[in-house]
A and B are shown apart, each in its own frame.
Chain A
């Protein structure tokens, strides 16, 4: 298995633009997590899905952020409009039913909003 695949790896955009980050979880995993990592706040849980259903989105900063999981093999995190304070590394992670509650992380998407 190729692991959790995230794209893009790096994105630089201007304030006000829409940003879409993508994640492909490990095949067979039924839970998917989005995290944001910054120097100031560490690793924050934004949202997680079980069986494609959002379970807890209380970590989503504000309405500018939205996440979807239309099927078991794909999820998106969208920021519209983006702001400089959204600059961070966004990680996706997945977990299997029999995975002993262990997350497997993707390589992350580094977002810079100018």
Chain B
């Protein structure tokens, strides 16, 4: 079965530290890749997406993600995190433009 794996359950960083959250998916044909963010008490919001073209995708709030097809990965990065980035981050994959599967999520805590 197709699946999405997020390697880190909980990441704790200090402000200004660099962030990289891992995401891998199982191969299943054409894929669209996403990162969603859920701030405390809020619903999920789209952070960035990859459909085709440049494998380095820029999103909102300084986030970016790189699609590496050979590794089936779509890691999320940010050079310098802020306290306001404290949230839960979900990687998602849509297979053949149909369903949308999410990883288990990574909780990010940024210490001021």
Contact = CB atoms under 8 A, between A and B. Distances in A.
Interface residues of B, number: 22
B49 A42 contact: no
B90 interface: yes
B104 A103 contact: no
Contacts, number: 55
A93 B45 CA distance: 11
B100 interface: yes
A102 B49 contact: yes
A100 B45 CA distance: 15
A41 interface: yes
B99 A55 contact: yes
Given A55-B99, A102-B34, A105-B45, A43 B51 contact: no
Contacts of A44: 102
B51 A101 contact: yes
A101 B97 contact: yes
Contacts of B42: 107
B43 A107 contact: yes
Contacts of A95: 100
Interface residues of A, number: 22
Contacts of A105: 36, 43-45
A55 B98 contact: yes
Contacts of B104: 41-43
Given A102-B34, A102-B49, A45 B99 contact: yes
A4 to B, nearest CB: 8
A91 B103 contact: no
7 contacts: A33-B100, A45-B100, A91-B43, A100-B49, A101-B51, A107-B43, A108-B43
Given A43-B102, A102-B49, 5 more contacts: A42-B103, A55-B98, A56-B99, A101-B32, A107-B43
Interface of B: 32, 34, 36, 42-46, 49, 51, 90, 92, 94, 97-105
For the complex of A and B, 7 pairs with smallest distance between CB atoms: A42-B104, A43-B102, A105-B44, A105-B43, A42-B105, A107-B43, A101-B32
